[in-house]
Structure 1
């Protein structure tokens, strides 16, 4: 048993999402959104190196020393997997471990809208899951891939850095590729994906305009492509993708995006009103001829109105999702107001709660 596994036991027993390790600080666990110290005494350099380098390979140890940064996945027996990030800061070596549950939660378990299931059943197009770091994008993606795995015979290819959720084949054939050990880069793995007879491709993160363009091309070839982007809203996601390209390429990218975009699910995590956990609020934009026209014409400012009018197609704005969670008494008005896009309008919906 590695020494760090004792800290993982603490993390799991507290149902925490992250373990933070830094020299000069005690080990910290994020549980229900708050950081909690596991002990009073801080970590020193010797203990930190002993904890972190006991679970890395010689090649991984060389990379953190040479490149000052390392991402990998660590499996703790059959209890859980963790996405590890080692890095250096002013006080020295540090690390953050994100919990990846060994059990993949279903769309029902997560309380995802029904449209998420219908989108998973598509056979082509680009579906983007967006939101800030720690908003549960990977968990939602895993649930959508799990639904595909349970419902149809197809080839699912995931390209990640590192591989997070490991799917065992049920009806689908699953191929996991990890950037680093299995592929030189996201771009090279995505290029190769077109020759691997995949029906569904999950791309861990669309970080560059090259990976974005390759994902758009795959989606236009009749493949269902999932990807994540670090943006807070559907409209911002479209602008982010287009603006990632030089001006002379943007017209072409608008055309590709208008043709291939199936949906954007932008999500935020909020503490529940009773303080026992967290719940996701989803903004949902579904592809349509109206959306395609807006993308081609650069009228992304009209997307909010499109989502407000598109309830029958499963669409909703973030503020609509937050309003629903408040009315269900799942979250507080104050928590919703922090995440609301139009805070003034949202506050007017609940005048009795103002100042509460």
Structure 2
């Protein structure tokens, strides 16, 4: 079994992921569905180890054996893969996420024009949220590339690992990879503040120290982008505040209410009209009304704002599902399967 052949197969079939797990056939995820490639033989522990270890350098092999998992970026035939290598039943397994060569525009990604405002902000915090594998990184890359192409800025990215690579344009871009270019998120973020950045991309805000540094960066005149794994835009606000000890939460509410610009929640839904997936989004904008709710801890009232302030650019997830349904892009069954608030959706789709 040849890794190059499997990777090329993933590219040719436009798969999002390739899985190599001993005891199973190699598997591809295409448009959200998982397919085992039964034209190949079952992956053996020996196959898996030989293929996967061949793409690691000595330091990466050492890290894998010490930590039992590792994330790396891997280039193959002018394509990039984000690779997570891990142990399962004492065997080496891997998931390869295909990163498209071309960074698509928001329009090409079928995302609402409202998101183009993100590249025009001069400072503050923008969050792209949603479950894993729902296109958050791709959306962020599109926004960052728009800044790169249209504005003269210094963009610093901190990623684990580097996924999309930005071509030289009007901006200058410093891309830093965890464990290769820096030892930790926090060290890299502190360092970024001394690197004359205009824009900082933090791949993921994983703990209160990273979140605290990101808020400080946004507060001190930088435009900060990051991601969170939350299911709705109000949940993202809750997650940030709840990460901190109770005695710090009032301070964080005040800080977040001041620096937050916009929160987007995104999911990819199977299309009804053509083969593929279409994004569904929720957009929360930090207007004075939202800022007041954040500061006062009244996060439960944000759903009301999302429903009633559409003319200000807000988008309620269930209303976006209604839009996709009425346009014939998704089925009624898909709309209800992916709804964040099914009871609210019942008011729009009967």
TM bucket, shorter chain: over 0.9
Partner of 1:211: 210
For 1:345 and 1:106, how far apart are their aligned partners in 2?
31
Partner of 1:12: 11
Partner of 1:164: 163
Alignment of 1:279-318 (within 5 A): 279-318=278-317
Partner of 2:321: 322
Partner of 1:68: 68
Indicate conservation of the 8 Å contact 1:32/1:275, yes or no. Answer: no
Partner of 1:182: 181
Partner of 1:52: 52
Return the offset for 1:91: 5.8
TM-score (norm 2): 0.97
Q: Go from structure 1 to structure 2 and tell me whether the alpha carbon gap of 1:215 and 1:196 turns closer, same or farther (over 3 Å shift).
A: same
State which drifts further: 306-315 or 250-259: 306-315
Return the offset for 1:98: 0.7
Indicate conservation of the 8 Å contact 2:18/2:96, yes or no. Answer: yes
State which drifts further: 255-264 or 269-278: 269-278
The 3-state SS of whatever aligns with 1:107 is coil
Specify every segment of 5 or more residues in structure 1 that has no aligned partner in the other structure, as ranges: 352-356
Return the offset for 1:48: 0.4
For 1:341 and 1:149, how far apart are their aligned partners in 2?
33
The 3-state SS of whatever aligns with 1:171 is coil
The two structures, once aligned, show a CA RMSD in angstroms of 1.2
For 2:155 and 2:126, how far apart are their aligned partners in 1?
15
For 1:32 and 1:137, how far apart are their aligned partners in 2?
16
Return the offset for 1:77: 2.5
TM-score (norm 1): 0.96
The 3-state SS of whatever aligns with 2:107 is helix
Indicate conservation of the 8 Å contact 2:231/2:340, yes or no. Answer: no
For 2:341 and 2:185, how far apart are their aligned partners in 1?
36
Specify every segment of 5 or more residues in structure 2 that has no aligned partner in the other structure, as ranges: none
Deviations 1:264-286 (A, max 9, x none): 00101111113510111110001
For 1:242 and 1:184, how far apart are their aligned partners in 2?
26
Return the offset for 1:90: 2.4
Partner of 2:259: 260
Alignment of 1:196-207 (within 5 A): 196-207=195-206
For 1:208 and 1:341, how far apart are their aligned partners in 2?
25
Indicate conservation of the 8 Å contact 1:254/1:296, yes or no. Answer: yes
Count of matched residue pairs: 349
Partner of 1:251: 250
Alignment of 1:122-201 (within 5 A): 122-201=121-200
* 1:276 correspondence with 2:285: no
